[in-house]
């Protein structure tokens, strides 16, 4: 078994594709070298990231795979699935091998796996953009904590930049210690161990109470359907949705 160990980034994947085609090695797996555990039944080949090589592969991928292929591969890398790197690599490999856009070939396992992983990340981004709860600080900054399955903070922040206009906000992925900060004009994403020092605005408690009241009033108590609530609003996403707390 051959395993490519790479830097967990799109450039890492592109360099792995470069090595695969130039050295004619097709790996069985692609893994992040940071989390890689050597195995006795496998040969691991460490690929170092080289931006010039990555750029060449990127051009070829654009050429054969269409304008959104790199975007989709980046989305795939945000997935929490164990095989996300392999899936993105295989998809890029198939595109370059066939010199065609393979997005439609959904009956091929490589394509359907890749498409499924991408869809799962995009789906989470979509639902979480509804489930995020901001609180207003006394300085007028909106702050939201959450812990998504996939690493979607970078996807979410632009959505809220467009939506909230010039209102500054912070989105904090507590699970990964990742934070996206917007001053109302641009976004900066980084890692942090610190929880922001948050003092709520004067209005915050009242609005939170009204929201809780609203949530209870709009529910039709005579028609409970908790299974359906669980299905559309999985419990892990309710951690910061205080209206659902008992």
3-state secondary structure (DSSP) of residue 48:
coil
Taking the C-alpha atoms of residue 103 and residue 113, their distance in angstroms, rounded to an integer, is 11
Which residue is it, tokens 């892990």?
Answer: 236
- Is residue 155 within a helix (H) or strand (E), and if so which, with residue range? helix 153-164
Residue 235 binds another protein (CB under 8 A) = no
Task: Indicate the Cα dihedral angle 227, 232, 237, 240, nearest 10°.
Answer: -90
Residue 107 binds another protein (CB under 8 A) = yes
Considering only residues 173 through 202, tell me which ones interact with another protein, judged by CB under 8 A.
Answer: none
Which residue among 35, 37, 130, 193 contacts another protein (CB under 8 A)?
130
Least distance CB 144 / another protein (angstroms): 7
Which residue among 228, 235, 236, 245 contacts another protein (CB under 8 A)?
228
Residue 38 binds another protein (CB under 8 A) = no
CB 2 within 8 A of CB 27: yes
Alpha helices in 99-151 (DSSP H): 109-131
Which residue among 46, 109, 175, 188 contacts another protein (CB under 8 A)?
109
Interacting residues toward another protein by CB under 8 A: 104-109, 112, 116, 126-127, 129-136, 142, 144, 160, 162-167, 203, 206-207, 209-211, 213-215, 217-229, 231-233, 241, 243-244
């Amino acid at each position: 078994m051959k395993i490519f160990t790479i830097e967990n980034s799109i450039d890492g994947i592109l360099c792995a594709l470069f090595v695969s085609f130039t050295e004619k090695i097709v790996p069985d797996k692609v893994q992040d070298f940071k989390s890689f555990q050597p195995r006795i039944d496998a040969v691991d080949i460490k690929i170092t990231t080289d931006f010039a090589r990555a750029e060449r592969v990127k051009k070829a991928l654009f050429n054969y795979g269409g304008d959104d292929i790199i975007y989709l591969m980046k989305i795939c890398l945000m997935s929490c699935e164990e095989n996300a790197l392999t899936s993105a690599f295989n998809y890029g490999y198939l595109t370059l091998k066939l010199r065609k856009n393979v997005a439609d070939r959904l009956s091929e396992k490589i394509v359907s796996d890749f498409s499924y992983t991408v869809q799962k990340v995009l789906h989470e981004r979509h639902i979480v953009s509804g489930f995020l709860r901001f609180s207003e600080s006394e300085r007028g900054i909106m702050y939201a904590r959450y812990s998504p399955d996939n690493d979607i903070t970078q996807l979410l922040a632009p959505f809220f930049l467009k939506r909230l206009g010039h209102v500054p906000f912070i989105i904090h992925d507590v699970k990964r210690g990742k934070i996206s900060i917007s001053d109302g004009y641009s976004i900066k994403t980084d890692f942090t161990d610190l929880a922001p020092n948050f003092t709520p605005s004067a209005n915050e408690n009242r609005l939170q109470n009204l929201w809780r009241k609203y949530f209870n009033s709009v529910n039709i108590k005579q028609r409970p359907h908790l299974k359906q609530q669980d299905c559309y609003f999985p419990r892990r996403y309710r951690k910061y949705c205080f209206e659902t707390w008992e």
